[in-house]
Structure 1
Amino acid sequence: MSDQDPASEVSVTGPPPAASSDAGYEKKGVNTDSALLTLWASLHGITISDGILIAPATDTDVDAGLGLFSAPSHSIPKVVIDVPKSLILSASTVKTLALTYGKLAKLLWPGDTGSLAADEDHGQSVLSSREVIIRFFLWALYSGDDAATYYGPYLSLLPDPRSFAMKPPIFWSPEQVAKCAGTSLYIPLAAKQRRLSAEYSKFVDDWQIISDREIQLEDYLRAEYLFTSRVMELPAGAEMELAVVPVIDFANHSRKFSARFEVTQESVQLVSVEQQPQTEDEGQRKDVESNEITISYGPEKGTSEILFTYGFILPVDDYDGKEHVRMRITLGDETVQLLYGRPALVDIRLGPDSTDELDWECDYLWLLCAGAEDGFSVRQTVQHDGVVELEAKIGEDTKVVVQPGAGNGVASGNQVVQSLRTFLQQRQGMQEIYELRRLVLLQEAVSQWLELLAAGELEQLQIADREEEEEDKSKLVDLAEDDDSAETQPLNIQTPKSDVSAIDNAIEILRQREERAFSLLEQHIQSRQAELLDSPAVQAFLAEQQTA
């Protein structure tokens, strides 16, 4: 903050005059909660520039909670907020904090006296960075430990998604998750719910060591949501670490963003992009009509990813007329999938609804479109210590060794793909052949996706029929039990009107957008295949294959 006294700084945190509603704060007064947060920030070395307001984000259709705003009389400064690294919530800082606070230490190292060295002693029971931060949130929010009040003003303003008009997907019931069948959301969401349920069971056993208070599954899901919706990836030496940055994390996301975060030697800063040269990710930024300061979702996140992470659907207008759909493909044998080192995704980029504009990318398909006759082979070996290695041979000169699951596995997989791609593109007269092969493989994947969507739609109809049948039965039972009402009022049974919930709406929008993407991609594949089959190079290759 500036050199003004704390009281004058607190007065800056009143509501943004440009907000479209007075809901959630007193129009003429200071928001006492955000004022306390601002005072807490000042006392702990967080610098908030003059004219930066922390107030409810009321001019949005989603549950955005608090947001960061610039006062109308102030231009957005170069450095909006500066947070010392000592206040950042990462696995390393939380573990260091736990050395001072016994209950937190017992939660991170159950059965141990609380030591950073205990991580190695626990072997595979070591918590992930994500779990460490989640357990910090749960300790700070629910333990009743006096030490947790250190972050009290910040924690008290964190949202509870259970109060949202539409709960995030991790809170959805099994029936609601089932309605996602066929979409790109279904498999990762079902898998995440299973993982969180298993984590929660393990957590409860450890929690009982430090507190008698019962923690429900939805409390654990809240902590998970706080982490996933606020986490940043920050450099930590030669590696990257996951972290939540207090106060900066109140900046809401937008495709028309006005700020980004930067890391200095001593702090993390929220910096206006208007003061910085634009990168490719920042090229989407438009003139912001609102005075809210927002950050980017990240490059090319589509409907499914935003719904999965943040719990809402963005209007098409927020995509600048474009949509990004990512779908997982399971083509290829296990060896090739291990070589790739990560889930294989097709990235589909669509133009506005009024056009058939489309582009796609899937580097994994390069591993499937070539074989030994093209100079590409993969050999699996088991070392004397039991470590499995994959040796990819490309041409006569290039060999890449990959250890599946190792820390450099993804990087090695990328190296294989890039080396193979360069090698194949240099083969004279074969580029169109490899493109055709990739299109044939992609067509197979698209056919599978469309079948899954159709099956999911059928399942949705069956679920809706069962729900309607149960509702009719329930109404009949209520009428039969209410004899007095039946005698004095005419029997009036009506077919229930369609009452589509926010969740059902979100799933339907996702389904429609993905169906459009797949249909357009299928048309693109068929059109491009026809062009390639007419090309002299492909015809000559096919003729050669027939005579071989």
Structure 2
Amino acid sequence: MARHLKGGEEPPLMTIPRELILSLERVHEHAKSDSDFRSVLDSLDGFGRTARGAILTFLLMQSFTACPSAPRKKGISSPFTEYLKYLPMEMLPTFWAPAECDLLTGTTLAPALTAKLNSLNREFEQLREATSSLPWCAEQWWDEVDGILEFDDWLQVDAFYRSRALEYPGVGDCMVPCIDMANHSSGTGTAAIYEVDDQGNAVLLLRDGKTVEENGEITITYGDKKGACEMLFSYGFIEDEMESARELFLDLSIPGDDPLGRAKAAVANCAPGFKIVESGDGVSWDGAYIWLICVNEEDGLSFQIQQTVEGNRELIATWKDEPVHGFEDFRSILEQDPLWDVYHLRAVSVLQERIASQLQDLYGSDDQVDAAQHGDGTNIRERAWHLAKRLRFLESELLEKAYSYYEDELPA
């Protein structure tokens, strides 16, 4: 900043008119006047009606509209056409080379990255299939010789959105030009907050009690509670001040010899795993899925086919003859059971075994990572290697802490 600023005494540092907030509402407004884009959006059905689907497709179309190599111009330019030209190419892990991705072996980012790339590929194929029936798309986007769209283009608009999307009150997930250029700083380092004013405009406000010296930087927070894995996954960096992984998610699978395994998998309405969160001197965990693994028919869990009022058949879970309406709150049901201590012990045992397995994978790949050639003249960039090493260290610290913390809950 060119002058000293003091929170509580400053007008909004920046105001972005509502019509320049790239939201689902704004995309639909643009589609009313852009028939080419509207035909693409309509072809996507449900995906095109979500904020993510609509905004990514809009970004892709705006990039195509501005593309100098496009044989025939399609779509209508907007202020966002210029905005796209100034967005930096983020080094998110979805752009890492295979050798760089191998550095993540044993981290929780490795399966998350694989799942994300698979999801992006499905979205891209959905886009191809949906728009191939539009003559100009078939010719200019998908022609085997002259088509110009590639999977990397979808990766890029995903990176733009994922690394810059802000959740605004009354607007939802959106991109806000200029404000989304602000760098991240957590805790007391956050200089400004973003809000919506009475007219629906996006405003950037200096935090009360916060001062920014002349030539200082205006920062916002991307999320103080986000863990190291999520920061690297979504934004391509881990802040220097981060001393802990904060949280991580470990996946779980129902054992193959579980006689109720298929039924459990069919009714589970929760993420297949559990989250570990560092909290003060200890470690907490949360995950409804683990309770599905810990109880079985002899404990009181059963399944039956029930006919709905519409005449359909659905699988219903019961616990001691009482219906279970979703498993998100299954723990509270088990806590009322006389055998709660047994179920809790089983859960901690499953948790410990899974943590140990993750540590084994992490430490088992350390030598390979340490020996990997990186830097100029290699397939591994220096920054990617250091980010992977930092993530590995932070996650191993939290996993070790969790293993020790819950070891005390198991019988000797």
For Structure 1 versus Structure 2, the TM-score category normalised by the shorter chain is: 0.7 to 0.9
Match of 2:328 among 417, 421, 429: 417
Map of 1:66 onto structure 2: none
Q: Is the 8 A contact 1:366 1:417 kept in 2?
A: no
Q: Is the 8 A contact 2:252 2:272 kept in 1?
A: yes
Q: Is the 8 A contact 1:138 1:223 kept in 2?
A: yes
2:369 matched to 1:440?
no
Distance 1:337 1:324 in 2: 29
Query: Where do 1:76-95 residues align within 5 Å?
Result: 77=10, 79-95=12-28
| Cα drift, residue 335 of structure 1 | 3.7
Q: Is the 8 A contact 2:246 2:278 kept in 1?
A: yes
Q: Pick closer, same or farther for the CA change 1:311–1:393 going to 2, 3 Å.
A: same
Amino-acid identity (%): 24
Distance 2:265 2:248 in 1: 17
Map of 1:507 onto structure 2: 388
Q: Pick closer, same or farther for the CA change 1:107–1:422 going to 2, 3 Å.
A: closer
Distance 1:373 1:314 in 2: 49
Q: How many residues end up aligned between the 2 structures?
A: 383
Amino acid at match of 2:404: Q
Q: Is the 8 A contact 1:89 1:133 kept in 2?
A: yes
RMSD: 3.9
Q: Is the 8 A contact 1:322 1:351 kept in 2?
A: no
Q: Is the 8 A contact 2:274 2:286 kept in 1?
A: yes
Map of 1:243 onto structure 2: 174
Map of 2:276 onto structure 1: 348
2:102 matched to 1:221?
no
Higher relative contact order (CA 8 A, sep 6+): 2
Structure possessing the higher radius of gyration over alpha carbons: 1
Match of 1:298 among 216, 223, 226: 223
Distance 2:317 2:206 in 1: 43
Match of 2:100 among 176, 179, 185: 176
Map of 1:527 onto structure 2: 408
| Cα drift, residue 74 of structure 1 | 5.2
Distance 1:233 1:273 in 2: 18
Report SS of the residue matched to 2:276: strand
Map of 1:327 onto structure 2: 249
Q: What are the ranges of 5 or more consecutive residues in structure 2 without an aligned counterpart? A: 67-72, 255-260
| Cα drift, residue 439 of structure 1 | 1.0
Q: Pick closer, same or farther for the CA change 1:395–1:294 going to 2, 3 Å.
A: farther
Report SS of the residue matched to 1:147: coil
| Cα drift, residue 330 of structure 1 | 1.4
Map of 1:546 onto structure 2: none
Amino acid at match of 1:421: R
Query: Where do 1:231-270 residues align within 5 Å?
Result: 231-234=165-168, 241-256=172-187, 257-263=190-196, 266-270=199-203
| Cα drift, residue 303 of structure 1 | 0.9
TM-score, normalised to structure 2, is 0.76
Q: Is the 8 A contact 1:139 1:148 kept in 2?
A: no
Q: Is the 8 A contact 1:302 1:326 kept in 2?
A: yes
Distance 2:298 2:198 in 1: 52
Amino acid at match of 1:424: L
Distance 1:74 1:322 in 2: 31
Q: Is the 8 A contact 1:380 1:391 kept in 2?
A: yes
Q: Is the 8 A contact 1:79 1:269 kept in 2?
A: no
TM-score, normalised to structure 1, is 0.59
Distance 1:371 1:199 in 2: 37
Query: Where do 1:1-400 residues align within 5 Å?
Result: 16-17=1-2, 71-73=3-5, 75=7, 77=10, 79-109=12-42, 122=45, 128-144=50-66, 147-161=76-90, 167-200=91-124, 203=127, 207=137, 214-234=148-168, 241-256=172-187, 257-263=190-196, 266-270=199-203, 272=205, 274-275=207-208, 291-298=216-223, 300-315=225-240, 317=241, 319=242, 321-332=243-254, 333-350=261-278, 357-364=281-288, 365-371=290-296, 375-379=300-304, 381=306, 389-394=314-319, 399-400=323-324
Q: What are the ranges of 5 or more consecutive residues in structure 1 without an aligned counterpart? A: 1-15, 18-70, 111-118, 162-166, 277-285, 402-412, 472-495, 534-548
